[in-house]
C-alpha cells in the first residue's frame, strides 16, 4: 500500500498547528481530515473510519484527547492513535506509554510532544501503518 491509500484524522483546536500538520501530511502523500474540536472529531468518528488519528490532548476539555482515544479505540480498536500535545511544556505534567498500565488508560499507540519535526511524524505514522 502507498501513503495515498491512508486517511489521517487530525483533531486540534490550535488552527495554526492543525493547518501545519494537515499541510505536512498532505505533502507527505496522505489524505487528511481536519477537526477543530473534540465534538467535531467525534462526529467524524461516528461516520468514518480513519486509517490513523492524531489528537491534541487539551481542546475544549483538558482531557479531550484521552476521551477521543477511548472513543475511537472502542469503535475501531485497530486504528492507531497518536496523542500529540504540548501539555508537558505548558504544565510540567508529563505522560508516557512506557507501562502497560499507562497504555491501558491512555489508549494511544504513541505519545508525542508537539514540536516534532514533520519527517519524524511521518516515520512514526509509517511505523504504525506498517508502510
CA distance 74 to 56: 18
- What is the total count of domains within the chain? 1
Q: Which residue range is the domain that position 44 belongs to? A: 3-129
Whole-number pLDDT of residue 109: 87
Ranges of H-type helices in 8-86: 15-28, 38-47, 64-75
pLDDT digits (tens, 9 = 90+) for 8-36: 999 999 999 999 999 999 999 999 999 99
* CATH assignment at residue 99: 3.40.50.2300
Listed residue (80, 84, 77) closest to 56, CA to CA:
84
**What is the pLDDT confidence band of residue 98, given thresholds at 50, 70 and 90?**
low
Q: Over the chain, what is the mean pLDDT?
A: 85
CA distance 110 to 96: 9
pLDDT digits (tens, 9 = 90+) for 64-91: 888 898 999 999 999 999 988 765 444 4
Whole-number pLDDT of residue 115: 84
* Antiparallel, parallel or unpaired: β 110-113 and 81-85: parallel
Confidence check: pLDDT of 62 > 90:
no
What is the sign of the dihedral through the CA atoms of 17, 23, 25 and 28?
A: negative
Q: DSSP 3-state assignment of 70?
A: helix
Amino acid at each position: 500500500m502507498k501513503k495515498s491509500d491512508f486517511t489521517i484524522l487530525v483533531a486540534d483546536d490550535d488552527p495554526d498547528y492543525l493547518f501545519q500538520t494537515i499541510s505536512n501530511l498532505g505533502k507527505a502523500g496522505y489524505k487528511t481530515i481536519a477537526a477543530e474540536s473534540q465534538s467535531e472529531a467525534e462526529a467524524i468518528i461516528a461516520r468514518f473510519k480513519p486509517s490513523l488519528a492524531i489528537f491534541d490532548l487539551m481542546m475544549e476539555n483538558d482531557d479531550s484527547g484521552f476521551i477521543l482515544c477511548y472513543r475511537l479505540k472502542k469503535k475501531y480498536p485497530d486504528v492507531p492513535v497518536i496523542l500529540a500535545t504540548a501539555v508537558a511544556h505548558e504544565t510540567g505534567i508529563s505522560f508516557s506509554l512506557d507501562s502497560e498500565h499507562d497504555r491501558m488508560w491512555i489508549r494511544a499507540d504513541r505519545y508525542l510532544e508537539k514540536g516534532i519535526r514533520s519527517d519524524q511524524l511521518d516515520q512514526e505514522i509509517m511505523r504504525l501503518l506498517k508502510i
